[in-house]
Amino acid sequence: MRARSLTGIAIGAVAALVVVAASTQAAELRLLTWKGYTPNEVVEQFEKETGIKVNITYSSNEEMISKLRATGGAGFDLAQPSQDRITGVQQEYKIYRSFDLSKVNTKQFIPSMLEATKKNTTLGGQVYGLPHIWGTDGLIVNKKAAAAASDYLDLCDPKYTGRVSYRAKRPVLIAFAFAMGKDPFALYGDKGKYQTLMEQIGDKLIACKKHVKDYWTNGDALLSLMRAGEVTLAMGWDSGGWKLTQENADLVFVAPKSGALGWIDTFALPAKARELDAAYKWINFVMRPEIAGKVAASAGNFTASKGSEKHVDPTLQKLYQASFSPKDVDNIKWYPAVPAGLEDIEGNILEKVRAAASR
């Protein structure tokens, strides 16, 4: 009896230790985000304050959607797709879960940006996205070699043949549409008309293919091409252009005449996130103005954190003002939510562009 009792005690003690170990094991936030959004000092401060380890996977919109589709929304606790990639994707694939806004310190957000993003990411009365980083696509110009460039169609100008670059992704379809006097967003509700417009843009891009040195897929690769002078005119992000300007005053970001394309990268919860508490803590942490200032410095773009402008590097403010006049700001074309099915149309057009021989 005594031996049996001691064995029972031993088993109970081991079980208790297992429970204690499990309860004290640090949580891990699995974050699917863009490069530049998680500076080391911010991650380290968060881990120190919360005891939560941050596991980061860098990605892009297409890759985020692909990764979450492959797992049904598992594998990550927080993702950062652009706001136009949420409701349509959710309708088709059910890879996100809605927010419990009672767990979000919404007072830390710029009210107008918060409300706009909530509106654009609401489905069935539930909010699926909150704003984080915002910026624009436009032209990155070498003023010595392409001073006259002022709009997206200049990427097709023969005088820049072999020194042009842009991504073979949906932004170039949208950009060329606006530059050709069309409003692609106005056709979001009519797939037939949108298909026709995209085919026209695809034909234009195929005709322009002979002028393209490279379809860039990585922001760092584009910057290297610009630095080396191999590319003198490109479609790219404002943050990349501003980075180059700080190195070489002849390389600048220009807001195109037909309008820069405005984007907002969000916070979104994957459908099968397992560490929701960690995800909410991260959101509330990085939206603190002083932390948001550090993120903005790393990303090269501004955030939706209210009051963070007081913590943003003055150099970034000056670069922004040099690229955007008040008129340019008013002319920004902000991406609305993409209806289900339109990305398939765009994807097919882009495949034809990539596969086509240069004319």
Backbone angles phi, psi at 221, to 5 degrees: -65, -40
pLDDT of amino acid 218: 87
pLDDT of amino acid 25: 61
Q: pLDDT digits over 44-98, tens only? A: 999 999 999 999 999 999 999 999 999 999 999 999 999 999 999 999 999 999 9
Q: Which residues of the chain have pLDDT under 70?
A: 1-25, 358-359
Q: How many CB atoms lie within 10 A of CB 315?
A: 12
pLDDT of amino acid 340: 86
Can you list the domains of the chain with their CATH numbers? Answer: 7-134+263-330 (3.40.190.10), 135-262+333-355 (3.40.190.10)
pLDDT of amino acid 19: 44
pLDDT of amino acid 359: 56
pLDDT of amino acid 151: 98
Tracing tokens 């008013």 back to the chain, one arrives at 330
pLDDT of amino acid 358: 64
pLDDT of amino acid 1: 37
Q: How far is CA 53 from the centre of its chain?
A: 23
